[in-house]
Amino acid sequence: MQIFGVDIGGSGIKGAPVDLDRGDLAQERHKVLTPHPATPGGVVEKVREVVEHFGWKGPVGATFPGVIAGGTARTAANVDKSWIGKDIQSLVSDQLGGVPVTVLNDADAAGVAEMHFGAGQGRTGTVLLLTFGTGIGSALFTGGRLVPNTELGHLELHGHDAEKKASSKAKEDEDLSWEHWAHRVQKYLAHVEMLFSPDLFIIGGGVSRKAQKFLPLIEGIKAEIVPAQLQNNAGIVGAAMAAAGKA
């Protein structure tokens, strides 16, 4: 069974048809740059561009970097604030000619995919997936069930939004070494561990491809820490799962 997944991010919008039996992309993903400013009109046009690249006509699942309630954006951290209050499902559906669209938080989508097909398979304790990218996304699971819209990247850490200091964008913007950045990530993980006492941290986002450069440098965390297995495709897979009613 194939369903289309689109992952809307602060820097890029990527998508592909997903094979839901394997939990993997059925074709190589297509990516376009997120327009700036990342307004609703500009972004949904880019979503249509990604979907039309494959000639796709069926249901679509889409992620969004913010809190989603009933298909509507409640927050918009790394895209234009004009998204807040917008019915994203209707906006995207209208742009795609009326096909059914399901929208969920981007990190929640990645988490659902990792729990079903990746590093979280078979784990029934408290699991926290954290995606490090333009910001820090989070997906919290207990007993295999998602607690949606946690948005733990916005926890205050030393007087700052944590994602402003520990995201991979912060690493790039400040030209931090892997060691320096790993130290910041370690402080963030320690703070989150103090609050939630997870059994497992899954580290996702594009930086998960380079996990060997920083995960061995993180010390003093009681929970097991592993890289995401689906890496940066997890959001696309999770979006497709949501559109198929499997999230």
Under DSSP, is residue 157 helix (H, G, I), strand (E, B) or coil? Answer: strand
- Residue 168: predicted pLDDT: 95
Q: pLDDT per residue over 186-206, tens digit each?
A: 999 999 999 999 999 999 988
d(CA 94, CA 100): 9
Residue 37 preceded by cis peptide, ω within 30? yes
The helix (run of H) or strand (run of E) holding residue 76 is none
Has residue 138 got a pLDDT over 90?
Answer: yes
User: Is the backbone of residue 57 left (phi > 0), alpha (psi -120 to 50) or beta?
Assistant: alpha
Has residue 151 got a pLDDT over 90?
Answer: yes
- Residue 247: predicted pLDDT: 80
- Residue 206: predicted pLDDT: 86
Q: Diameter of the chain by CA atoms?
A: 51
List the one residue out of 107, 221, 113, 223 whose CA is nearest residue 154.
107
Q: pLDDT per residue over 229-238, tens digit each?
A: 998 899 999 9
- Residue 78: predicted pLDDT: 84
Phi, psi for 54 (deg, rounded to 5): -100, 0
Q: pLDDT per residue over 171-189, tens digit each?
A: 999 999 999 999 999 999 9
pTM for this prediction: 0.94
Spatial contact of 12 and 169, defined as CB atoms under 8 Å apart:
no
Read off the tokens for 211: 């996990």
Q: Which residue has the higher pLDDT, 232 or 12?
A: 12
Tell me the pLDDT band of 80, cut-offs 50, 70 and 90: very high
Name residues whose C-beta falls within 8 Å of residue 41's C-beta, 6 or more positions apart in sequence: none
